[in-house]
Structure 1
Amino acid sequence: MKLNYVVVLLSHLLVAGLSPSFVHAKQQSDYPGYDRFDVRAAHRSMPLAASVWYPADTFIYRAPVGGNVIWKGTDAYIGAAIAPGRHPLILLSHGSGGNMDGLGWLSSQLALRGAIVVALNHPGTTSGDSSPRRTPFVGERAEDISATLDQILSNPAFAPYIDPRNIAAIGFSLGGTTVLSLSGVQFDQALYAQYCKRLGDAAQDCDFLRKGGVDVDHLPNDFAASKSDDRIKRIVAIEPGMGFAATQASLSNVSNAILFVGLGDEDRWAATDFGPSGSNLVARIKNASSAIFAPANHLTFLAECVPGAVELLKEEGSDPICSDPPGTDRGQIHQRIVTAIAEFLNLPGS
């Protein structure tokens, strides 16, 4: 029976593209636990893919998550038991063209500091399924998060380990826009159109929409939808997009504590600048604070790249997603961001 079990497990890992590393089943703290589940959302025609990272207790094997020819993977104990107790819950929203496991470097480190981190793929704006036409549907993205929260809190495998009074949301880029929406921020189509006309192609988000044939004068009503979720108490908005379209009335009513995270000084993207030279969101929300990390730029937040990735991307004519400003240590910037977020969220291991 034991031999059959190992053969079946190896077959499963090879099909999944994972390289197993067998370890003794005893409590460890060097890697987080990792699992996946589907989210059924009424506003979506198909289930959403979600992943969960958490403090691990006992486990069977370790494998890399999210790695490929460009990105370094993040090791985790796949399907491990969850460490006893009630843990803070963090919901994670990726940026345009990103995916739930691409930010595994962040999820894993927050899990090692005592949080359960639930990430998901947003249809229409995820890897391999990222369309300019679907990008302005900010309300749908916020609903994805709320639906995911509904299901993780009712999931018998995870709910007993969650502290329902300690729920936060983190989002990067378009994900930052999404989590701001969950705090009560509303976005206005006319304000966004004005911003795009004023900055033109210098605004990275407007340029992306233009290349997809999106008419910014006729954005969907969903762009301006109100999608606040009172269960979420703290927000971390990392380089959030569309800040120029936030209405002052909604910003004045935000009660959540919000941490804005920015990357770079002179290398700041116009689309995600929340400071005085940009949308100034951090000064327009009463419970907001900020942390800036440099040298860096918007893309520094993405996962670390494998050796040779920069050259490969150049050969293919792809975006410079692995290139940082001179003097940038992407891994070090990541660690500083993790520390700032963990302290802001008062995680047990911070």
Structure 2
Amino acid sequence: MKPIYLAFALCLFAGLKTSPVLAEQQTDYAGYDRFDVRAAHRSMPIAASVWYPADTVIYKAPVGNNIIWKGTIAYIGAAIAPGKHPLVLLSHGSGGNMDGLGWLSSQLALRGAIVVALNHPGTTSGDSSPRRTPFIGERAADIRATLDQVLSNPSFAPYIDRQNISAIGFSLGGTTILNLIGVRFDQTLFAQYCDRFGDAAQDCDFLRKGGVDLDHMPNDFDVPSRDDRIVRSIAIEPGMGFAATEQSLAAVTSPVLFIGLGEEEKWAAADFGPTGSNLVARIKNASSANFAPAHHLTFLDECQPNVAEILKEEGSDPICTDPPGTDRALIHRQIIDEISEYLALDAKAS
């Protein structure tokens, strides 16, 4: 055997030795895979990911890690644990992405769920535009198309409990999830909210900087998108709550959990309590939980060491800077526990 091939063979067998295929179900890391979603309303495939309880495994690797984010370790392409598992759909916020929420997806998978996330074109990392942000109907259609595909995918469908489908969204993702359970958003109400709060409204400020005419939003902003396959939902710091119509809020029948972050540094755009849009009191099956000290961006992944200081020096968004006294990892664990209890997942699995 030639030296180069011998070296390759030794590396291959060494890799198999350090990452063996095991017979028992794995409970230290979740399984992870990816697939493309073909959607009629999009010109290109939508990137989607799936986290799940792993059975036999091949190898593990970090997902979503880079010079800013820590990312999450997963068993790539592992077999799925036998049985029927609850399905959780996950929608990221403006400028976010599916792998950046791996800290949440992986832990829900370790507690028994199959978590399907996706990258929304036009509002995902590296492809996020203010003028494409108001297309709430397109985002909801992304979720519906992803749900259609995963339920027909022979690799995943046999493991899904079709009677136990939930949806989680953060920020603009929370807006998307509310739209999917029947909430509609009114252009006039949104313009009035932006006039009232001015630049203090983070979503309005973002749209204005992109040249969006807040008095003439796209028709897609207020389309109906209800999907009755979703039996419960979680809206984490959802945006655009002031634009929700009273009639649509009154018609919501499925349970909704609202999760807030922080107290003194509450974002106007995401305040669903009595000092804000008061969504939690206007939906009859709504409940809420709040975690502090924290703020809106605390929900994002944990950052690499010293990144917060570097971003501050560069004048970048404070995505890694939390309020004094905040323990981002602790807030994440508390959110995981809250969501797991709400979804009746196995808290002992992690």
- What TM-score range do you get, normalising by the shorter chain? over 0.9
For 1:251-262, list aligned pairs within 5 A: 251-262=249-260
Paired position in structure 2 for 1:114: 112
Please state how far the C-alpha of 1:349 moved relative to its aligned partner: 3.7
Is contact 2:311–2:318 with CA below 8 Å preserved after alignment? Answer: yes
Please state how far the C-alpha of 1:23 moved relative to its aligned partner: 3.6
Question: Which deviates more, 312-321 or 147-156?
Answer: 312-321
Question: Which deviates more, 164-173 or 20-29?
Answer: 20-29
1:229-286 deviations in whole A, cap 9, x for unaligned?
Answer: 0000010000000000000000000011000000001111000000000000000000
Distance in 2 (alpha carbons) for counterparts of 1:98 and 1:224: 22
* Among candidates 253, 261, 264, match of residue 262 of structure 2: 264
Paired position in structure 1 for 2:53: 55
Distance in 1 (alpha carbons) for counterparts of 2:20 and 2:319: 34
AA matched with 2:304: V
Distance in 2 (alpha carbons) for counterparts of 1:168 and 1:228: 13
AA matched with 1:135: T
Local SS of the residue matching 1:218? coil
Distance in 2 (alpha carbons) for counterparts of 1:53 and 1:21: 22
Local SS of the residue matching 2:338? helix
Paired position in structure 1 for 2:194: 196
1:126-174 deviations in whole A, cap 9, x for unaligned?
Answer: 0000000000000000000000000000000000000000000000000
Is contact 1:23–1:62 with CA below 8 Å preserved after alignment? Answer: no
AA matched with 2:217: L
Is contact 2:30–2:51 with CA below 8 Å preserved after alignment? Answer: yes
Q: Does residue 1:25 correspond to 2:22, yes or no?
A: yes
Q: Does residue 1:159 correspond to 2:163, yes or no?
A: no
Paired position in structure 1 for 2:338: 340
1:91-120 deviations in whole A, cap 9, x for unaligned?
Answer: 000000000000000000000000000000
Unpaired runs of at least 5, structure 2:
none
Q: Does residue 1:237 correspond to 2:238, yes or no?
A: no
Is contact 2:260–2:291 with CA below 8 Å preserved after alignment? Answer: yes
Paired position in structure 1 for 2:89: 91
Distance in 2 (alpha carbons) for counterparts of 1:123 and 1:21: 38
AA matched with 1:68: N
AA matched with 2:145: A
Please state how far the C-alpha of 1:317 moved relative to its aligned partner: 1.6
Paired position in structure 2 for 1:128: 126
Unpaired runs of at least 5, structure 1:
12-19
**Closer, same or farther: CA 35–330 of 1 in aligned 2, 3 Å:** same
Query: Could you tell me the percent identity over the aligned residues?
Result: 75
Please state how far the C-alpha of 1:22 moved relative to its aligned partner: 2.1
TM-score by length of 1: 0.94
Paired position in structure 2 for 1:312: 310
Local SS of the residue matching 1:313? helix
Paired position in structure 2 for 1:15: none
Distance in 1 (alpha carbons) for counterparts of 2:8 and 2:46: 30
Please state how far the C-alpha of 1:60 moved relative to its aligned partner: 0.9
| Structure 1 runs of 4+ with >3 Å offset | none
Number of positions where the alignment pairs a residue of Structure 1 with one of Structure 2 = 338
Is contact 2:203–2:239 with CA below 8 Å preserved after alignment? Answer: yes
**Closer, same or farther: CA 132–21 of 1 in aligned 2, 3 Å:** farther
Root-mean-square deviation (CA), in Å? 1.7
Distance in 2 (alpha carbons) for counterparts of 1:320 and 1:186: 31
Please state how far the C-alpha of 1:336 moved relative to its aligned partner: 0.2
Local SS of the residue matching 1:58? coil
1:303-345 deviations in whole A, cap 9, x for unaligned?
Answer: 0001011122123221010000010000000000000001001
Is contact 2:87–2:160 with CA below 8 Å preserved after alignment? Answer: yes
Distance in 1 (alpha carbons) for counterparts of 2:32 and 2:233: 23
Distance in 1 (alpha carbons) for counterparts of 2:192 and 2:125: 29
Paired position in structure 1 for 2:328: 330
Please state how far the C-alpha of 1:21 moved relative to its aligned partner: 6.2
